Amino acid sequence: MPSDGLKNARPRPRVLMVGFAGHQGKEYLPIVRETADVVAGVDPAPAATSLADEWGFPHYDVLGEALAKVDFDAAVVTVPHNEHFPVCSQLLAHGSHVVKEKPFAVTEHEARQLIHQAQRADRGVLTLLQRNFNPVFRFARENLARIGDPYWFSYDYHFNLAHPTTGWRASREQAMGGVLLDMGYHLIDVLSGMFPEPEPLRVHSAFVHQYRETRDRRLEDLVGLMCSYPSTGLVGSLRISRHHHEKTEHLCVLGTEGALNVTPGAATLHSVGGLPLERYVWEGPKTDAVRSMIAHHLGHLDDRSYRQEHFRRQLAAVRTIDGIYRDRSPERNALADRCA
Ligand SMILES: NC(=O)c1ccc[n+]([C@@H]2O[C@H](COP(=O)([O-])OP(=O)(O)OC[C@H]3O[C@@H](n4cnc5c(N)ncnc54)[C@H](O)[C@@H]3O)[C@@H](O)[C@H]2O)c1
């Protein structure tokens, strides 16, 4: 006789993994299997066949084939940026929930189309952003009020890759943006969780290229942003790059009554003048945050209010990033105007 808890437990969702043979797909696969049944995978990469055999699920080269042959509740999507919209749109048209890598969408137009399609189909499109499930960032959000009114932030996020970008990230058609879209999406989302704003930010940007090939393809290696929030007067700067001398992530917020310092491993509250007041340390492992993120999203696929809040926040992040690219690219701006 099952206990009440077991009797009422939801069945494990059936998941289709789209892009499972790539970096993120391989990271997520064992974690998804803890919460869900992986019923098939889609990936055209040569390595996909042996990987699917190893994990014991059927494998398809193209999504359409899987849609015709497999029953599933949700798809976990980890594909290059240019494939996000067509893949997600096809999944929603099929009636599937989507749990996907960032970015939610590349352009505001595509974000609005996805949201519209998801709402009509009564399905979720939930974005995997691990900082929302990292206890340090949670501590930072929950304790922000202790520094009074925030008036300045600086947020640095850098990789120290020694060579020019390769693979799909080096192709403008596939990457659809440089570090701002690829790495900056996480930071814009963190900021919108900490400083919810109804209005779009005012942003000034500087795009910098370390390598000639990335300059030629207009894929920024480094971006500097100066952001202001008109309704509160908060101002801040972001610096994001792939080829820094060290790999680092550091957010510092100054407030009228103190300061907050955040790295992925620790957050410290300071008084005005710098005295440390409280330090919260998280020693990971990172997979714990990924595990709770995936379980949480898969557990909230049918939660309409969770989905609605997610759409609102992701639309804001996409709109901010799309707006920065549009300000710098007359051609992207003209395309957006034609789509509007
Ligand atoms: N959250 C993070 O920290 C983080 C880190 C790395 C990548 N990402 C994101 O994950 C996504 C994938 O990046 P990656 O580094 O894993 O790339 P990747 O190149 O390692 O993997 C992409 C996989 O998708 C497959 N693919 C391409 N088109 C497909 C399609 N139409 N259908 C099915 N499979 C397809 C490719 O064959 C490849 O195996 C991107 O959106 C990226 O921004 C997030």
Residue 28 is encoded by which pair of tokens? Answer: 């997520």
Q: Which of 79, 46, 71, 76 is nearest to 61 (CA)?
A: 46
Same domain, 139 and 271: yes
Give yes or no: residues 205 and 267 share one domain: yes
Nearest CA to ligand 1 atom 25: 19
Q: Is 36 in the pocket of ligand 1 (CB under 6 A)?
A: no
Question: Tens digit of pLDDT for each residue in 14-69?
Answer: 999 999 999 999 999 999 999 999 999 999 999 999 999 999 999 999 999 999 99
Distance CA 98, CA 84 (A): 11
What is the Cβ-side half-sphere exposure of residue 184, based on CA atoms within 13 angstroms? 27
Same-domain status, 12 and 38: yes
> Same domain, yes or no, for 222 and 253?
yes
| Residue range 170-225, pLDDT digits in tens | 999 999 999 999 999 999 999 989 997 756 668 999 999 999 999 999 999 999 99
Is residue 1 pLDDT above 50, yes or no?
A: no
pLDDT at 333: 62
Nearest CA to ligand 1 atom 5: 24
Q: What is the mean pLDDT of residues 70-86?
A: 98
**100 close to ligand 1 (CB < 6 Angstrom):** no
Q: Which helix (H) or strand (E) holds 57?
A: none
Residue 160 pairs in a beta bridge with 243
Per-residue pLDDT band at 286 (split at 50, 70, 90): very high
| pLDDT score at 338 | 62
Regarding whether 143 and 250 lie in a shared domain, the answer is: yes
Distances (CA, A) of 180 to 118, 129, 226, 320: 26, 15, 13, 11
CA distance 86 to 174: 12
**Residue 123 covered by a domain:** yes
Q: Residue 149 is inside which H or E element, if any?
A: none
Please check whether residues 205 and 76 belong to one and the same domain.
no
Q: Is 106 in the pocket of ligand 1 (CB under 6 A)?
A: no
How many CB atoms are closer than 10 A to CB 6? 8
- What residues does 245 pair with on adjacent strands? none
Residue 301 lies in a domain: no
**Distance from the alpha carbon of residue 339 to the mean position of ligand 1, in angstroms:** 26
Reported as type and span, the H/E element at residue 269 is strand 266-271
Final residue of a structural domain among 281, 302, 320: 281
Q: Is the residue at 82 inside a domain?
A: yes
User: What is the domain-level CATH number for residue 124?
Assistant: 3.40.50.720
> Considering the domain boundaries, does residue 305 fall inside one?
no
Atom of ligand 1 nearest to the CA of 18: 33
| Whether residues 114 and 29 fall in one domain | yes
Residues 240-244 have a mean pLDDT of 98
Q: Is the CB of 41 under 6 A from ligand 1?
A: no
Q: Are residues 111 and 181 in the same domain?
A: no
Domain range for 207 is 135-281
Ligand 1 atom closest to Cα of residue 21: 39
Average pLDDT along the chain? 93
Instruction: Answer whether residue 184 is part of any domain.
Output: yes
Which among 130, 158, 173 is the end of a domain?
Answer: 130
Percentage of the chain surpassing pLDDT 70? 93
